[in-house]
Structure 1
Amino acid sequence: MTTPALNVNKDDGYPKIPLGEYLVRRLLSIGSKSAFGVPGDFNLPLLEFLYNKDGDEIINWIGCCNELNASYAADGYSRYTNKIGCLITTYGVGELSAINGITGSYAENIKILHIVGVAPTFISEDENLKYKNLHHLIPDKEFPNINSPNFKIYYQMVKDKISCASEYLTDIETSCDKIDDVIVQIFKHSKPGYIFIPSDFSNKLVSSKNLINVPSINLSDCLNKTPMEKIDNLTNEIIDLIGNSQSPAIIGDVLTDRFGCTKLLNDFIQMTKFWNFSTMMGKSVIDESGQAYMGTYIGLGGLTTVYNKILKCDIFLIFGLEMNEMNSGNYSFKFPKGSQIIEINPNYLKITKCHDTENQIVDFYPNVSMTHILEGLIAKVNIHDANTNYDKSVKSYDTSELVLPLQQEDEEKITQVHLQRELPNFLNPGDVLVCETGSFQFAVQDFKFPSNLKYISQGFYLSIGMALPAALGVGIAMKDYPKFHLNDHSLARNYTPRLILLEGDGAAQMTVQELTTMLRHKIPMEIFLWNNNGYTVERAIEGPFRSYNDIMPWNWTKLLNVLGDPNNEFNRCVTIDKKSQLSEKFKELKEGKDNNCIQLIEVQLDTHDIPRQLDFMVQEMTFKKKSSSTTEKKVK
């Protein structure tokens, strides 16, 4: 990879370079090796700096079919690497197309830098030009032919609403500092940030001072630092509480991963051998192959066997908790009476005592680093001092706890039950699994993943269609950072992880264009397309036979021919409607046969077949809706 040569003009003692070059160098310094987006007239000057003088890409440009898909792809890139996913769009029409993807990233704590090319400064500052209605802008409501349009209207729409930091560059002298500050805030909060760059700024010269004095910016540099004396006192308090426990439990949630603590948490579990549980959004944060792994805790929305194990514990260390409707089983988290909860989040620590009717907060410590707490616990904990006395009749989690209904062996029809029984065995240690928002997503929560598997899914915001372009971003990230998610060095040497996408037909029809981008960039992937004739989650909630939940049937196995591979050079497509066919395909792919391409497997399912887990969620939603309606009537 070649970087541009520095301009030797040195007004402040540091070489001057164009702002576009500064931004490209800064992106490389934070680990963003690829950028996703769509070209537009206001970002074209910036895009030119992605190439060196020979025309080679300095940063990989992944041009997507539309900005929404590009935002999903940048999201997937960040979810895999835990680095910043870079999205580049143009004024108004581009950035607004991406806004749903950015909102999902904000809701699920994903690091995205959204760079928007905007109108040149000479237009907004010139008294004769600023009153003219510029394309991509919104004219004034009352007097559009007289008043100036609001050049910052889109900036004002997102600032402090779906971004942790937003800067509209107006002064070239402060632009580098503002770019760097947005990046720092993205790492600090693990949420998207925006930089609006006037199209005439990219070629203006700026100082390279920041690049020389701060050559890189990374996650650990940006997180709050907690005084070591405070960490020492808190870790001592936690260890004392653990020492008085007979059955401690660890719950690992998604913010553990977002804030770079996954390895630390697994090291702590390995040292202590404490019972441990994942959450729905935290799937694959904890190594689920361990002997002390007890399942996914989703409150009363999960398995009874898992809930019963929770009831056998007396203290809970919860790391990186993300409390929302989906992750908590409709806010049904319950803990045994008398137990204590130590909630360790990225920037606070809370100790709670559980009572019959409500929980009492005993202590709350803001501005406490989860990283420092875990490091302190690992340094101090001595398993020999632990007074654990677990129920020895309890075994580690196994998918047999699902108690799936038996089906006749001679029945060849593929069902959700059959997929739940067979698909976990299809996964290899080290694979990367991306799952679309849809009916089968609710079944995956009760899988037991093999070691080093990376699971990616939008579990809370739930925007259907997100997973397919997100898988593109994951695939690009796996090229930029091969085997990045593997902690097992032996596995990293001997196995090439597969990228597997579980996709629904209704969701795919929303964002399917990015299959062409996968072909263009040669992203190997195994895509299981669940064809159940439309919007199955919606059918389960309302209108099971309504036309609004139907979609037009497609010939899925011909799609990749149309989208750029007419001779099947990089794709293999098949339709499967029998168990025996699916088992054969599972075996073939698991063994790595012919997997250096896109394999699209269309799996025929019944229209109204749904997993038990989804049925429970729908029943809970319906019950709460009816209860709320009854309450409203009583109030009236």
Structure 2
Amino acid sequence: MTDTISVGAYLATRLAQLGSPHLFGLPGDFNLSLLDEMLTVDGVEWVGTANELNAAYAADGYARVRRGIGAVVTTFGVGELSAINGVAGSFAEDVPVVQITGMPSTAAQRDGALVHHSLVDGNFEHFVRAYEQVTAASIVLKTHTAPADIDRILLTALTESKPVYIGVPSDVAVARVSAANLREPLAAFTSDSRQLLRFAEALRAAVYSVPRVGVLVGPRVHRASLEPIIRSLADAPGVYIATQSGSKAILDESHPASVGTYLGAHTRVDAARRTIDDAPLLILAGTIMSDLLTGFFTHRFDPDRAVELGLTWARIGETTFFGVHLGDSLRIVNEVLQDARLDPAPPISLTWPAPSSPAQAPVATPGTVAAAPATLAADATLTDASATAEVAIAAEPLVHESFWRGVQSFIAPNTIVVAEAGTAFFGAIDLTLPDNCDLLGQPIWSSIGFTLPATLGACIAEPSKRTVLLIGDGSAQLTVQELASILHRGLTPVIFVLNNGGYTIERAIQSPSAVYQDVTPWNFTALPAAFGAADRAVTRSVRTESELTDALALATRTTDKLVLIEVILPPLDSPRLLRLLGEGLSAANAPVGAAAAAVNATDDALSSIVYSEN
């Protein structure tokens, strides 16, 4: 390594050392010198996107799947403001994205030059201040302190799992600085040893007299890449683990200790809900107690009485242990519970709905009724009437119940499932995912359009797994330009576009027939050709069960091309969970008294139900 290095190359080297060598973004005149320097570093790769918002979404998806940092590079003003919504989502959902902005030169900023992309008032701090609201730390680099400032900012992103902002003036980007710090890679801060010891002692006391323990796992466990500890913890007798919807696949759902996804009153199996709500001791591991993650606050446990594990602290009762990082607190929980003498007998009977499979229907050409297969005619045990009925069912228009049955059978182990906020996400939550799958969504920020660019990031971050995207027609129209990037990079996800003629999640909340709920109709299957990549994709539009069965078979055997399946669904139909949560959202938007009454009534009604799969 040379004695000196440019600031741009220093920053790129640090990102590469952290396992994040891909840069998402767009060029602009204020970041060209920065990009030229960053791309001199071996292994660093540019991923150009259609716009800066998509770049921020892609970096977010990349960071989630990579379990590390994602980097987005924009130009000053117009570029960074375009990306700020994506970075705000990363802040809300604890994703460490680094927003890197190429800025006008130090001299131009000092002199208050009236340059383009500015507000022409000579003030260059407007946008830095905006980013201060949605990042854990921000800095505009100066040459003489650049190495230390870069290291400090990146360590903040690592430790707090939050986005950060780095502004790089064009002259600073090319300035030479010492490369000495690069000899040692960055490492996240460690826990305070004394606080860890105190936490362990308090936990042993709390566990001493309880027969069993419930653990509710939140998305911050996923962000910290702590799934192996959860899997070990699940093997301890008397421990039962549920996940919040933002962390659904942290533990394989086939594991005996898994009680599925917890959503308060909307939990699919009531016995699973009671395992958490009535746990003698409840541990909240990396949880977020927001509306969509608690079934609109219908959880019955008291968080103040639980053991709570945050990213950089832990709490037992009224005692908070600061400087205790989530990885270390979970490790101690695992050690204590493995040694505890808990009751291995299940506290209640957990009977799970079996995953459904789509009907084995004959293949029909769009617009026609399928003929009965030869096997039906040859089977003497089937009457002509039953064969005719089966064909009729296969030819019926798709609804969410039949669509999600098909998806359930299609998802294979080792799949990254990406589900858009709204109809797609709430349908995906009710799936029983095979082992070693991952569910990527945005249940807190819920910015529609996030998942299509995030799929680009996910495919690049983990090319060994197949990515399956489920997205609504309205959401896709926001960010569909990134489909071109996916195609031209030769990536091969399976994309389901749920075409229900508008914003069904909003229809479920209020004014279902309002004009603002509609979107313009698109020919989704023509998009690969419109983007100049018809030979890199196969497309289908499906309206019936038999057409869906055919399309799923096509997607299963097509692994060398992108597969886009447009799924035509009724505008007012929705998955089970969306129907229930739509009631909660509707109540939340009602006047204060009416909202409280509606929420209480919904909770009382639902609490007595043991849900079947549908």
TM-score range, shorter chain: 0.7 to 0.9
Question: In structure 2, how many angstroms separate the alpha carbons of the residues matched to 1:89 and 1:417?
Answer: 43
How many pairs align? 560
Do the aligned partners of residues 155 and 307 (structure 1) sit closer, same or farther apart at CA in structure 2, a change above 3 Å counting? same
Residue 287 of structure 2 is aligned to residue 321 of structure 1: yes
Of 424, 439, 442, 2:423 maps to 439
Partner SS for 1:281: helix
Q: Find the counterpart in structure 2 of residue 537 from structure 1.
A: 505
Q: Find the counterpart in structure 2 of residue 30 from structure 1.
A: 18
Of 138, 148, 153, 1:166 maps to 138
Paired amino acid for 1:40? G
Query: Any unmatched runs of 5+ in structure 2?
Result: 357-388, 597-614
Deviations 1:224-275 (A, max 9, x none): 4121x54344334324433422232121111111123221121111244622
Residue 44 of structure 2 is aligned to residue 80 of structure 1: no
Question: In structure 1, how many angstroms separate the alpha carbons of the residues matched to 2:157 and 2:150?
Answer: 11
Q: Find the counterpart in structure 2 of residue 94 from structure 1.
A: 79
Paired amino acid for 2:234? I
Q: Note the C-alpha offset of 1:425.
A: 2.3
Paired amino acid for 1:601? I
Deviations 1:605-628 (A, max 9, x none): 011111221122221233344350
Q: Note the C-alpha offset of 1:417.
A: 1.3
Residue 559 of structure 2 is aligned to residue 595 of structure 1: yes
Q: Find the counterpart in structure 1 of residue 374 from structure 2.
A: none
Paired amino acid for 1:154? F
Which contiguous aligned blocks of 4+ residues in structure 1 show a shift greater than 6 angstroms?
A: none
Residue 326 of structure 2 is aligned to residue 370 of structure 1: yes
Question: In structure 1, how many angstroms separate the alpha carbons of the residues matched to 2:529 and 2:62?
Answer: 26
Q: Note the C-alpha offset of 1:449.
A: 1.4
Question: In structure 2, how many angstroms separate the alpha carbons of the residues matched to 1:631 and 1:599?
Answer: 43
Q: Contact 1:292 / 1:396 at 8 angstroms: preserved in 2? A: no
Superposed, which structure 2 residues align to 1:186-585 within 5 Å? 186-212=157-183, 215-217=184-186, 221-227=187-193, 229-272=194-237, 274-305=239-270, 306-311=272-277, 313-335=279-301, 341-351=306-316, 361-382=317-338, 385-391=341-347, 393-395=349-351, 398-399=354-355, 410-411=392-393, 412-479=396-463, 482=464, 497-565=465-533, 568-585=534-551
Query: Any unmatched runs of 5+ in structure 1?
Result: 7-14, 141-148, 352-360, 401-407, 483-496
Partner SS for 2:177: strand
Q: Note the C-alpha offset of 1:331.
A: 1.5
Paired amino acid for 1:35? L
Q: Find the counterpart in structure 1 of residue 106 from structure 2.
A: 121
Of 561, 564, 585, 1:621 maps to 585
Q: Note the C-alpha offset of 1:30.
A: 1.2
Paired amino acid for 1:165? A
Question: In structure 1, how many angstroms separate the alpha carbons of the residues matched to 2:331 and 2:308?
Answer: 16
TM-score normalized by the length of structure 1: 0.84
Do the aligned partners of residues 396 and 438 (structure 1) sit closer, same or farther apart at CA in structure 2, a change above 3 Å counting? closer
Q: Contact 2:497 / 2:567 at 8 angstroms: preserved in 1? A: yes
Q: Find the counterpart in structure 2 of residue 358 from structure 1.
A: none
Of 117, 128, 131, 1:155 maps to 128
Q: Note the C-alpha offset of 1:335.
A: 2.7
Question: In structure 1, how many angstroms separate the alpha carbons of the residues matched to 2:204 and 2:36?
Answer: 55
Do the aligned partners of residues 382 and 200 (structure 1) sit closer, same or farther apart at CA in structure 2, a change above 3 Å counting? closer
Q: Contact 2:238 / 2:344 at 8 angstroms: preserved in 1? A: no
Partner SS for 2:549: helix
Question: In structure 2, how many angstroms separate the alpha carbons of the residues matched to 1:256 and 1:274?
Answer: 17
Deviations 1:388-432 (A, max 9, x none): 4424633457557xxxxxxx8533221111223332222111111
Of 549, 552, 561, 1:586 maps to 552
Do the aligned partners of residues 132 and 376 (structure 1) sit closer, same or farther apart at CA in structure 2, a change above 3 Å counting? closer
Paired amino acid for 2:114? N
Partner SS for 1:350: strand
Q: Find the counterpart in structure 2 of residue 486 from structure 1.
A: none
TM-score normalized by the length of structure 2: 0.86
Deviations 1:423-472 (A, max 9, x none): 22221111111111121311222222111101100111100001000000
Q: Find the counterpart in structure 2 of residue 354 from structure 1.
A: none
Question: In structure 1, how many angstroms separate the alpha carbons of the residues matched to 2:429 and 2:118?
Answer: 44
Do the aligned partners of residues 426 and 223 (structure 1) sit closer, same or farther apart at CA in structure 2, a change above 3 Å counting? farther
Question: In structure 2, how many angstroms separate the alpha carbons of the residues matched to 1:42 and 1:504?
Answer: 36
Question: In structure 2, how many angstroms separate the alpha carbons of the residues matched to 1:23 and 1:296?
Answer: 40
Question: In structure 1, how many angstroms separate the alpha carbons of the residues matched to 2:196 and 2:403?
Answer: 46
Q: Contact 2:540 / 2:566 at 8 angstroms: preserved in 1? A: yes
Paired amino acid for 2:78? V
Q: Note the C-alpha offset of 1:524.
A: 1.0
Question: In structure 2, how many angstroms separate the alpha carbons of the residues matched to 1:421 and 1:178?
Answer: 52
Partner SS for 2:299: coil
Paired amino acid for 1:583? T
Q: Contact 2:276 / 2:282 at 8 angstroms: preserved in 1? A: no
Partner SS for 1:113: strand
Q: Note the C-alpha offset of 1:328.
A: 1.1
Paired amino acid for 1:466? F
Q: Find the counterpart in structure 2 of residue 605 from structure 1.
A: 569
Which protein is richer in helix relative to its size? 2
Q: Contact 1:252 / 1:286 at 8 angstroms: preserved in 2? A: no
Partner SS for 1:202: helix
Q: Note the C-alpha offset of 1:336.
A: 8.6
Q: Note the C-alpha offset of 1:311.
A: 4.8
Question: In structure 2, how many angstroms separate the alpha carbons of the residues matched to 1:291 and 1:532?
Answer: 37
Q: Contact 2:96 / 2:162 at 8 angstroms: preserved in 1? A: yes
Question: In structure 2, how many angstroms separate the alpha carbons of the residues matched to 1:589 and 1:96?
Answer: 38
Residue 61 of structure 2 is aligned to residue 48 of structure 1: no
Do the aligned partners of residues 320 and 152 (structure 1) sit closer, same or farther apart at CA in structure 2, a change above 3 Å counting? same
Paired amino acid for 2:444? F
Question: In structure 1, how many angstroms separate the alpha carbons of the residues matched to 2:509 and 2:340?
Answer: 51
Question: In structure 2, how many angstroms separate the alpha carbons of the residues matched to 1:546 and 1:376?
Answer: 54
Q: Find the counterpart in structure 1 of residue 600 from structure 2.
A: none
